[in-house]
């Protein structure tokens, strides 16, 4: 981890991205509220997403259609695909409006991201976004990274964001015995709307683990940093405690951001720290 630049890079097109995302029509107020809560993360993620460089194609896994339109309308990708969990072989057309006018359309392909072979040729994309999904996988998270490697052109990038289980909040909860160190550890409400479809955070990762799985899958991490998530306020006293007792205080934000470049084929399919062998 010492070789990584752990400060956020200079944002690219952040103002344009935020203005565009805010302009998108939402189907209801709950969707608008979700967007506003996560706006900073969405803008930050898109602002560190590399521009098109070879194929002009980009794929967003777990597409909620918040970031997806900006990939084409602001970042300049000529072909944008979305993906979501569902039966392999099915694809749904999706469109987005702003002010009642259609501004973006794409296909969202359905498949199981940790089991299926993704329905794209080798070296097809310049970039794959895997944002806030890695922590939800139940069976085989490395399958996703190896498939991302396969469908990316050499030099293409995977943008991966996920919670940090070594964060200020995690340390505070452990020291105070005030809760589970995972940022989110609750199950879906059995009586709720998403009881049968919502998968909780199965496993959250430390920064070291995230860099290690990316390396094992044939990626070199170019950008890696963490930021404080909205609504979490343990930073000051936890930083002071860590420094006082000689523990590392960097990379302790609740949200992890990484951009990793494909340098070759995957190396280690089942990292020992992640799978029981």
Q: Give 100-115 pLDDT, tens digit per residue.
A: 999 999 999 999 999 9
Question: Phi-psi bin for 27: left (phi > 0), alpha (psi -120 to 50), beta?
Answer: alpha
Dihedral of the CA atoms 54, 55, 57, 61 (nearest 10)? -80
Superfamily (CATH) of domain 14-262 = Vaccinia Virus protein VP39 (3.40.50.150)
Least confident of 7-16, 72-81, 138-147: 7-16
Domain positions in the chain are 14-262
pLDDT value at 193 more than 70: no
CA gyration radius, the chain? 19
pTM, whole model, 2 decimals?
0.94
Share above pLDDT 90 across residues of the chain, in percent, rounded to a whole number: 86
Confidence of residue 128 (pLDDT cuts 50, 70, 90): very high
From the list 170, 174, 179, the residue with the least C-alpha distance to 251 is: 170
Q: Is the pLDDT of residue 1 over 80?
A: no
In the chain, the percentage of residues whose pLDDT exceeds 70 is 96
Structure tokens at 69: 């339109």
62/98 Cα distance (integer angstroms)? 22
Mean pLDDT of the chain: 94
- How much is the average pLDDT of 251-262? 97
pLDDT greater than 50 at residue 44: yes
- Mean pLDDT (whole number) for 249-263: 96
Task: List, for residues 53-93, the tens digit of each pLDDT value.
Answer: 999 999 999 999 999 999 999 999 999 999 999 999 999 99
Is 220 in contact with 156 (CB distance < 8 Å)?
no
Residue 134 zone, left/alpha/beta (φ > 0; ψ -120 to 50; rest): alpha
**194 has pLDDT over 90:** no
Which pLDDT band holds residue 2 (cuts at 50, 70, 90)? Answer: very low
Say how far apart CA 122 and CA 153 lie, in whole Å: 8
């Amino acid at each position: 981890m010492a070789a990584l630049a752990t400060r956020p890079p200079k944002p690219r097109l952040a103002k344009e991205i935020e203005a565009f995302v805010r302009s998108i029509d939402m189907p209801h107020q709950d969707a608008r509220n979700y967007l506003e809560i996560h706006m900073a993360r969405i803008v930050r993620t898109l602002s560190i997403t590399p521009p098109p460089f070879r194929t002009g194609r980009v794929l967003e896994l777990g597409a909620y259609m918040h970031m997806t339109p900006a990939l084409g309308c602001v970042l300049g990708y000529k072909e944008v695909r979305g993906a979501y969990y569902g039966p392999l072989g099915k694809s749904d057309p999706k469109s987005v409006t702003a002010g009642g006018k259609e501004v973006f359309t794409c296909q969202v392909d359905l498949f199981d991201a940790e089991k299926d072979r993704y329905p794209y040729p080798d070296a097809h994309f310049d970039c794959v976004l895997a944002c806030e999904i890695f922590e939800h996988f139940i069976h085989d998270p490395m399958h996703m990274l190896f498939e991302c490697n396969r469908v990316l052109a050499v030099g293409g990038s995977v943008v991966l964001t996920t919670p940090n289980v070594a964060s200020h909040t995690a340390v505070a909860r452990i020291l105070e015995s005030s809760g589970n160190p995972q940022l989110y550890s609750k199950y879906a409400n059995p009586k709720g709307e998403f009881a049968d479809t919502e998968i909780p955070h199965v496993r959250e990762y430390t920064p070291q683990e995230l860099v290690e799985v990316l390396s094992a899958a044939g990626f070199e991490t170019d950008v890696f940093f963490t930021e404080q998530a909205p609504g979490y306020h343990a930073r000051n006293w936890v930083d002071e405690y860590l420094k006082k007792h000689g523990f590392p205080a960097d990379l302790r934000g609740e949200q992890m951001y990484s951009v990793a470049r494909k340098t070759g084929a995957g190396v280690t399919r089942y990292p020992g720290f992640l799978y029981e062998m």
